[in-house]
Amino acid sequence: MFEPIAPPHVGLYVCGPTVYGDAHLGHARSAIAFDIVFRYLIHLGYKVRYVRNITDVGHLENDADEGEDKVAVIARLEKLEPMEVVKYFTDRYHRDMDMLNVLHPSIEPTASGHIIEQIEVVKTILENGYAYEADGSVYFDVDKYNADYPYGKLSGRKVEELLQTTRELAGQKEKKNSFDFALWKKADDRHIMRWPSPWSDGFPGWHMECSAMSVKYLGDHFDIHGGGMDLLFPHHESEIAQSNAAHGHESVKYWMHNNMITIDGQKMGKSLNNFITLQEFFSGEHKALQQAYSPMTIRFFMLQAHYRSTLDFSSDALYAAEKGMAKLMQSQQLLHKLPVSPQSSVDIKPYGERLYEAMNDDFNTPITIAHLFDLSKLINQVNDGKAQLTEEDIETLKIWFKTFLLDILGLQEEEQGGNDQLVDDLMQTLLDLRQQAKANKDYTTADHIREALGKLNIQIKDTKEGAKWSVN
Amino acid sequence: MFEPIAPPHVGLYVCGPTVYGDAHLGHARSAIAFDIVFRYLIHLGYKVRYVRNITDVGHLENDADEGEDKVAVIARLEKLEPMEVVKYFTDRYHRDMDMLNVLHPSIEPTASGHIIEQIEVVKTILENGYAYEADGSVYFDVDKYNADYPYGKLSGRKVEELLQTTRELAGQKEKKNSFDFALWKKADDRHIMRWPSPWSDGFPGWHMECSAMSVKYLGDHFDIHGGGMDLLFPHHESEIAQSNAAHGHESVKYWMHNNMITIDGQKMGKSLNNFITLQEFFSGEHKALQQAYSPMTIRFFMLQAHYRSTLDFSSDALYAAEKGMAKLMQSQQLLHKLPVSPQSSVDIKPYGERLYEAMNDDFNTPITIAHLFDLSKLINQVNDGKAQLTEEDIETLKIWFKTFLLDILGLQEEEQGGNDQLVDDLMQTLLDLRQQAKANKDYTTADHIREALGKLNIQIKDTKEGAKWSVN
């Protein structure tokens, strides 16, 4: 049961992207998972401050303490200033998230924009004795910390095991132990992004930005910290250690991690030739893809698995998601045309309770979607005259569909563009002409219209209330 | 004649928005003016690094050295953390600029993200003797500076006159002279946005951010610094002073200022009840507006005046802009349907030369547009059989229209949405039906179709090649 620290306020911090490449399914999954958390908490009436950061400095290759900065690598290859790389990929990330209908966070701080705040945390940890300086860099003293606090609490790792599994990387001689991690790194000559500090011209360790920025904007005890499962260790484990070392207590009440995405059962990776960006999904332009998949199909596909489960991408699964979502959208439209009865043949109340139960059960979106499919079935039965609903019950269903499908799951009709009204008007003109032709017993013209529309994949269905049309 | 410092590279810095409210015509004018500079320099083959900043801290009310921070005022009124205000209005600014088809800058640094860089510049100016500390704040010593460098060079103001015109504001007792300006301000208790510095917990003076960020990303001698005319004094004058005081020389080779916008001859202002946001223009939802104006109409309207001229908004002027742009867009489309002749009856070469001459003459967009209208006239003459063009000349005109109208002026067909093809297909179906009806001498049906389309503001014109349609 979720209990905020200071209701109605909720502080939510999520690790955002390192902006050195285009967003892929993994980015989408994390953003969508916490978008659901954000949306549902807002729906429940909480005042949510959602902070999602942009990592634009300090994230080194291999997530390690040595090697080149991920952003700087691209800047060097493309002959750009690192902040040009940051601007380019941040803009593209925003565009992709907008297409996925991911709400904007309340604050989107950057690591490079919070160097002072990070230096201040490093100073405090040094003062508290849980870090040491070595040749201009500052390292977190895991052994010292482990004597006072349980290191490995989040990930279940033990310091003794880490000693055997962490590699001795080049240039790490200055560390007391291989598992110590950098809080501040002295910049070598080739390092462009650098700032003055009490210890050296350098840059903050990767784990430091989230510790500094979450506390700055949410306080040193806040509700939820989220991120991808791959960040659990060492990133989030290190954040907990930094928090204890700086504040004497943990900052986060609830940790949430979304699970990973596999592609046809395999891990996704640039070297595995199955690395597909979101834009490639949207356009279909990748040799591993047989077709394009719309942003809403990708979103629905993600929501059909619980965020803590692994999710396997395959063409079949995405195709099924496309059909499933279309079905729910059709049901929602059908709701506005249902026949009204004086009495309902079913009690709809339990349906609504189940929708909330599913979301209250750790944001269980696949179950929520299953319940919406149940409602979809009921709507079809009513439409076919096999079940009845009162006007009031139909209105309630409309509210549930809007609330859960659109507001909470964040799905939306795929953009058909701005000509929808004109298309409707032209179709009405054509249907009127056909009606007139039939009235005049001019069946040649009436059939011609039906056939011409058929070629445009538009189906006409004659109903009691006149002809209806739909695009296949 | 523009001569870059280190061709083919061009460094362009433009003062962006203070993000505490929605963008209005003034923001649009500045962004569009320098978008044209950016686009044309790129077209000429320069490699342009375009830096446009976001002011998210340090810009105090009344552009003065005392008073509350503009962002913090909104944060207090809306009970938000200042960075929530920043995120909200930055996103909306980006959305509005995207709608106006303004290209993204290469780097978009924030003032709050460059506190260290600003502190470093203040330190240097103090070391060089052109500033003094007073009670935790640091002020620029204009008198001292004026003995070594010509203060007022850009704005033509004289220190002696300033002494008489600058008011003695509350809390400015610590200044030696009323015209001295803050480089660093000690934060009072209510000030939320504050950082540690050698002098106090405080925040940088407003003029400091541009000095620090332009030099960081473009070097201490770069090509172009742009901004609105209202920034000429004190903002840009102070930047020059800070640059001389810190580096011993000016940083900027060319200063460019776009002029202001008046509304029906009056200055635009929140208190004057003529303050209209861009979104209000786009939606038409403001009591001073008789209709909505599309982003491209606003853009075309701006480009019909030279950036150094004042521009008066009126409904009539915007209406004329709407018609003018539509005419150019129609000409561009007509180019693809022109009859081809074996010989041209006119020499088109001078038309192209004039287009470049106009842009080379300090980005003279109104003259460029006038030349495009001349071409439009020629295109109509060719279409009417009153002039002739070879296929090669028609291809050249296509290139010029694409280059100047779309690439350089940045205009584009208004988005009609994604249903254009369906609309075309439905219209063709209707026109075929009408044709068939006419062939069958069923004039009732043929007229009915024309009338029904007329109600949708669609006009049908019978031509030799069959019926054509256009939306009014």
Contacts of B449 in chain A (CB under 8 A): 429, 433
Whether residues B195 and B312 share a domain: the answer is no
The verdict on a CB contact (< 8 Å) between B416 and A418 is yes
Minimum mean pLDDT range among A103-112, A214-223, A312-321, B300-309: A312-321
The verdict on a CB contact (< 8 Å) between A196 and B116 is yes
Identify how many contiguous H helices and E strands chain B contains and give both numbers: 16, 13
How close does chain A come to B36, measured CA to CA in Å?
20
The verdict on a CB contact (< 8 Å) between A423 and B420 is no
pLDDT, residue B417, reads 46
Whether residues B329 and B203 share a domain: the answer is no
Q: Which of B88, B426, B435, B458 to mutate to test the interface with A (most CBs of A within 10 A)?
A: B426
Is B278 inside a domain boundary?
Answer: yes
Is A429 inside a domain boundary?
Answer: yes
Report how far residue B142's alpha carbon sits from residue B160's, in angstroms, rounded to the nearest whole number.
11
How close does chain B come to A424, measured CA to CA in Å?
10
Is A285 inside a domain boundary?
Answer: yes
Residue A116 is nearest to which of B94, B115, B417, comparing CB atoms? B115
Residue A420 is nearest to which of B87, B105, B419, comparing CB atoms? B419
Residue A109 is nearest to which of B83, B120, B196, comparing CB atoms? B83
pLDDT, residue A45, reads 97
Whether residues B399 and B275 share a domain: the answer is yes
| Enclosing domain of residue A219 | 9-258
The verdict on a CB contact (< 8 Å) between A419 and B415 is no
Q: Tell me the pLDDT of chain A averaged across its residues.
A: 92
Tokens of residue B53, six digits: 């900043």
Is A203 inside a domain boundary?
Answer: yes
pLDDT, residue A417, reads 46
CA dihedral A65, A66, A67, A73 (to 10 degrees): 40
What CATH number has the domain bearing residue B150? 3.40.50.620
How close does chain A come to B9, measured CA to CA in Å?
12
Which residue's structure tokens are 């069923």?
Answer: B442
Is A3 inside a domain boundary?
Answer: no
Whether residues B272 and B253 share a domain: the answer is no
Rg (CA), chain B: 27
**H-state helical runs in B100-180:** 115-127, 142-148, 159-165
Report how far residue B130's alpha carbon sits from residue B141's, in angstroms, rounded to the nearest whole number.
5
The verdict on a CB contact (< 8 Å) between B106 and A87 is yes
The verdict on a CB contact (< 8 Å) between B436 and A430 is no
Compare all CA atoms of chain A with the CA of B80 and give the residue at the minimum distance.
A49
Among A376, A408, A440, where does a domain finish?
A408
Whether residues A241 and A337 share a domain: the answer is no
Whether residues B242 and B148 share a domain: the answer is yes
Whether residues B219 and B337 share a domain: the answer is no
The verdict on a CB contact (< 8 Å) between B449 and A429 is yes
Compare all CA atoms of chain A with the CA of B91 and give the residue at the minimum distance.
A104
User: Is residue A37 within a helix (H) or strand (E), and if so which, with residue range?
Assistant: helix A25-43
Contacts of B427 in chain A (CB under 8 A): 426
The verdict on a CB contact (< 8 Å) between B415 and A418 is yes
Q: Give me the total of CB pairs closer than 8 Å, taking one residue from chain A and one from chain B.
A: 120
Among B196, B230, B258, where does a domain finish?
B258
Whether residues A93 and A207 share a domain: the answer is yes
The verdict on a CB contact (< 8 Å) between A433 and B433 is yes
CA dihedral over B425, B428, B434, B435, signed as positive or negative: negative
Contacts of A120 in chain B (CB under 8 A): 196
Q: What is the pLDDT along chain B (472 residues), one digit of tens a residue?
A: 899 999 999 999 999 999 999 999 999 999 999 999 999 999 999 999 999 999 999 898 878 888 889 999 999 888 899 999 999 999 999 999 999 999 999 999 999 999 999 999 999 999 999 999 999 999 999 999 999 999 998 999 888 777 766 555 555 688 999 899 999 999 988 888 999 999 999 999 999 999 999 999 999 999 999 999 999 999 999 999 999 999 999 999 999 999 999 988 888 876 666 788 999 999 988 888 888 899 999 999 999 999 999 999 888 999 999 999 999 999 999 999 999 999 999 999 999 999 999 999 999 999 999 999 999 999 999 999 999 999 999 999 999 999 999 999 999 987 654 566 678 788 888 888 888 888 888 888 888 888 888 877 787 877 776 777 777 5
Burial per residue of A293-327, b for 16 or more beta-carbon CB atoms within 10 angstroms, e otherwise: bbbbbbbbbbbbbbbeeebebeeeebeebbebbee
pLDDT, residue A167, reads 55
Contacts of A432 in chain B (CB under 8 A): 452
Q: Which of B107, B197, B430 to mutate to test the interface with A (most CBs of A within 10 A)?
A: B107
The verdict on a CB contact (< 8 Å) between B195 and A116 is yes
Compare all CA atoms of chain A with the CA of B195 and give the residue at the minimum distance.
A116
How close does chain B come to A413, measured CA to CA in Å?
13
Is A413 inside a domain boundary?
Answer: no
Whether residues B81 and B181 share a domain: the answer is yes
Q: Give the distance from CA A98 to its chain's centroid.
A: 11
The verdict on a CB contact (< 8 Å) between B104 and A87 is yes
The verdict on a CB contact (< 8 Å) between A423 and B418 is no
Whether residues A66 and A82 share a domain: the answer is yes
Is B2 inside a domain boundary?
Answer: no
Q: Are A82 and A110 in contact (CB under 8 A)?
A: no
pLDDT, residue A418, reads 52
Tell me whether strands A458-463 and A266-267 are parallel, antiparallel or unpaired: unpaired
Residue A423 is nearest to which of B84, B422, B430, comparing CB atoms? B422
Phi, psi of A219 (to 5 degrees): 90, 170
Among A230, A258, A286, where does a domain finish?
A258
How close does chain A come to B417, measured CA to CA in Å?
4
Compare all CA atoms of chain A with the CA of B217 and give the residue at the minimum distance.
A81
Whether residues A56 and A202 share a domain: the answer is yes
Burial of A116 (C-beta count, 10 Å sphere; 0-12/13-18/19+): middle
Whether residues A393 and A441 share a domain: the answer is no
Contacts of B110 in chain A (CB under 8 A): 113
What CATH number has the domain bearing residue B398? 1.10.730
How large is the ipTM?
Answer: 0.86
Contacts of A104 in chain B (CB under 8 A): 87, 91
A464: pLDDT strictly greater than 80 = no
Residue A431: how many other CB atoms lie within 10 Å:
18
In chain A, the number of structural domains is 3
Q: Which of A419, A420, A443 to mutate to test the interface with B (most CBs of B within 10 A)?
A: A419
Higher pLDDT, B353 or A74: B353
Is B23 inside a domain boundary?
Answer: yes
